[in-house]
Structures are given as C-alpha cells and as structure tokens.
Amino acid sequence: MAGITNAAYRRLCMEQATAQGGDGLFVCEMITSRGLVEGDATTRSMLVFDELEKVRSVQLYGTDPAYVGKATEILCADYGVAHVDLNFGCPVPKVTRKGGGAALPWKRTLLGDILQAAVGAAGRYDVPVTMKTRMGIDPEHLSYLDAGRIAEESGVAAIALHGRTALQGYSGTADWQAIARLVEHVTIPVLGNGDIWEAADALRMVEQTGAAGVVVGRGCLGRPWLFRDLAAAFAGGFAAEPLDPTTLPTLGEVRTMMHRHAELLCRHMGEERGCKEFRKHVSWYLKGFRAGGELRHSLALVDSLAALDALLAGLDPDEPFPVAELGTPRGRQGSPRERVVIPEGWLDDTDGTRLHLTEETTETTGG
Ligand SMILES: Cc1cc2nc3c(=O)[nH]c(=O)nc-3n(C[C@H](O)[C@H](O)[C@H](O)COP(=O)(O)O)c2cc1C
C-alpha cells in the first residue's frame, strides 16, 4: 500500500506473523516502471529493504511493455527482488484518465504484452510475476475473467482480484462471488482481496471462494497484529467465528506496537522523518480506544522517539481492546464515483497495442 508498506512497516508485520510461526509476503510500496528505468531518485529511494526481508517483493506500475520489461530486469538484477507484482487496480481519475490502472485491462492485447514483458524479464532470474486487478471499469465493462485467462497464458504465477470495479472506488462491500468465479475460470492460483478486517474474514473468504490465499489492504492499518492472527488462523488455531477476545491486544500492547513501529521507521529513515511518517498511523492505532483528544493531537505532532514514549506513557495499558471496532472499515472508503474517467473512445476496442500511454515517473496513489 502506497505510503504505508515501507520497509519498517513490512518488518513490523512480518515480526507479528513469524512470532506466530507463520509467514506471508509483504510487498513494497508500488513504484513506476518509468521512474525506475529513468533513474528517478524518489522511485529508487523507495526500494529499501529490511535486513530481515528474505523475499524482496515489489509492486510495479506500468502501461508500456518496454518500460515494464526493463524495470523488471532492473529489479531482479540490481535489487535482488524475488517477486514482482504488477498493479492494474488503481481507480484514481488521474491514472484512469490516461488509460492506466484499473482501466488498462480493458485493452486485452496490451495487457498481455505488458505481462509477457515482465514474465520474460523475470524468467531469466527465475522470479515469479503476479498481477493484481479489479473486476473492471464498471458493472457493464468487466475485464477480470479475461485478465485471468491472459495472465495464465502469459506465464503469470498468480492473480489477485480486488472484488470491486473502478467505479466503486473503496466504497460498499467487495464482491467475493467474483473471486469465486475467477477461481473457477483459471488454473493459476487466485488471491482474494477486499474487506479482510479480521483473520476470521480471511478464513471465510477462502472457504467461500476457493481462493489460494488473501491479500490484505486497509485491514492492517494500525493493526500489524492482524498478520499474527492470520498466521494462527491459517495454521488452524482459530475458529472462523466467533473471534476469541483473549487474543485481542490491550492498549498497553498496542502502545508497545506503536513504539516498535516508530522505532523501525526511525531506524530506516532517521528520527525526524521517521516520526513524521509515524504520525499518520496514530489515529488508526487508537481507533475506538478512549485516549483523549489532546493526547491524540500531541501524538499526531510527535517529532522524537523520546517525546513519543512520554506521550504513550499517558495511555492506560489495561484498557481492553474496543471490540465494537472489530470488522469495521478503516482507511479510505468514500462513495462510488459517478463515472470512471477514461480516454475518449477507450471502450471502442480491446486491443490497445498502438497506444502510447503516458506514464508518470512517480505515481503514488496505488490501488
Ligand atoms: C492507502 C492505500 C494505499 C494503497 N496502495 C495500493 C498500492 O500501491 N497497490 C495496490 O495494489 N493496492 C493499493 N491499495 C489498495 C489495497 O491494496 C486493496 O486492494 C484495497 O484497499 C481493497 O482491499 P481492502 O478491502 O483489504 O482494503 C491501497 C489502498 C489504500 C487504502
């Protein structure tokens, strides 16, 4: 997730999963193919990995097969990346207006060319390529089943489906039936995405859809222990329902997690930037807890680890987890768009190979 899954947060989530004897793939924030190929400094600065990351996994954005191929080559050759994911899920008008993100899979031939360029480059390093997409542009213009077939034909190792259209943005609920339909449609593994708020949701999704695994987005915001719960759930230590309240962290445990998060950010970015970066996570960590407005406000302005610890000391460590928060959305939601902005004539054909889509060097809106 753009702006969230930097090396520090990936490590924190990984620590949670491995403490439970589990694992998982923690994907680096998305970078653009063009940015990487042209040596853009911001793009390169995002390619930072923690020393504990055994599998370097990066998500690439791209609309031009040549750039995507070259970028994949650079990731594998220069950065020791062991998994490349291609993102075709971004619903943001700035991106779809140019035919990128969730609009791109409508152009089936172009999609195939991009996937093949990545798979060809990564194949020389034995690196698997996966893709992530939405159901389509809107209910009348779905592309996910074709995308699955094209992915399979292109040698893509797995496909992740976010069960929403671009029109839906992040609103409403994800359509898990679409995930089940894709599972039926392809032979490669399908990873389901959308509305995994608790570990029990992941078990339900896998059970209801036959997905080979799940992709977690907003559910982990301020909740790195979700990966501990997921590890326990998939190891069979968790009933799908009801959730065992004894596994929920008290505010004292959340406080420890907040400190660890900030500490890792400071280690990777330096104290000033690390603390600034941490600020956006405060409200997610404290969602539903009683912590007072003044304390929250001060935490959201924190500028040193010492100041953070002093403020965290003001939180009641024995306060139980606010169970009313369980299963509720966090992060981006909003309402459906009125229409998806796409280039004129975009829906007229499904080829797209003669198009020269302009790709920004930095694109940070994600999926
Ligand atoms: C802040 C934020 C940043 C995101 N960045 C990306 C991204 O870079 N790449 C991507 O594939 N999806 C990105 N997403 C989308 C999520 O990965 C996920 O597909 C979507 O939120 C639906 O899953 P969820 O219901 O579990 O959140 C982002 C979502 C949010 C809220």
Q: Report the 3 state secondary structure along 71-137.
A: HHHHHHHHHCCCEEEEEECCCCHHHHCCCCHHHHHHCHHHHHHHHHHHHHHHHCCCCCEEEEEECEE
> Residue 229 pLDDT more than 60?
yes
CA of residue 314 to ligand 1 center, whole Å: 32
> Residue 11 pLDDT more than 70?
yes
* Interhelix angle 65-79/108-123, nearest 10 degrees: 20
Position with higher pLDDT, 240 vs 205: 205
Q: What is the pLDDT of residue 361?
A: 78
Residue-wise pLDDT tens digits, 284-334? 999 999 988 899 999 999 999 999 999 999 999 999 999 999 998 888 888
Q: Is the peptide bond before 91 cis (omega within 30 degrees of 0)?
A: no
Residue-wise pLDDT tens digits, 261-273? 999 999 999 999 9
Taking a C-beta distance cutoff of 8 angstroms, is the pair 4, 29 a contact? yes
* Interhelix angle 144-154/108-123, nearest 10 degrees: 30
Taking residues 84-112, report their average pLDDT.
95
CA of residue 270 to ligand 1 center, whole Å: 26
Taking residues 119-136, report their average pLDDT.
98
Taking a C-beta distance cutoff of 8 angstroms, is the pair 102, 90 a contact? yes
Global pTM reads: 0.95
| Residues flanking ligand 1, CB < 6 Å | 1-4, 29-30, 59, 87, 89, 132, 162, 170, 174, 193-196, 216-219, 331-332, 366-367
> Residue 242 pLDDT more than 80?
no
> Residue 239 pLDDT more than 70?
no
CA of residue 2 to ligand 1 center, whole Å: 8
What does the radius of gyration of the chain's CA atoms come to, in whole angstroms? 20
Q: How confident is the model at residue 243 (pLDDT cuts 50, 70, 90)?
A: low
Nearest to 194 by CA among 183, 179, 210, 180: 179
CA of residue 366 to ligand 1 center, whole Å: 6
Question: Catalytic annotation on 76?
Answer: no
Q: Burial of 36 by CB count in 10 Å (0-12 exposed, 13-18 middle, 19+ buried)?
A: buried
CA–CA dist 100, 118 (Å, integer): 17
Residue nearest to atom 21 of ligand 1 (CA): 217
pLDDT, the chain, mean: 94
> Residue 204 pLDDT more than 90?
yes
Q: What are the C-alpha distances in Å from 53 to residues 24, 82, 123, 195, 248?
A: 11, 11, 21, 26, 26
Residue nearest to atom 15 of ligand 1 (CA): 367
Query: Hey, what amino acid is at 58?
Result: V
Taking residues 150-157, report their average pLDDT.
98
Residue nearest to atom 30 of ligand 1 (CA): 1
The answer to which of 75-89, 232-246, 260-274 has the lowest mean pLDDT is 232-246
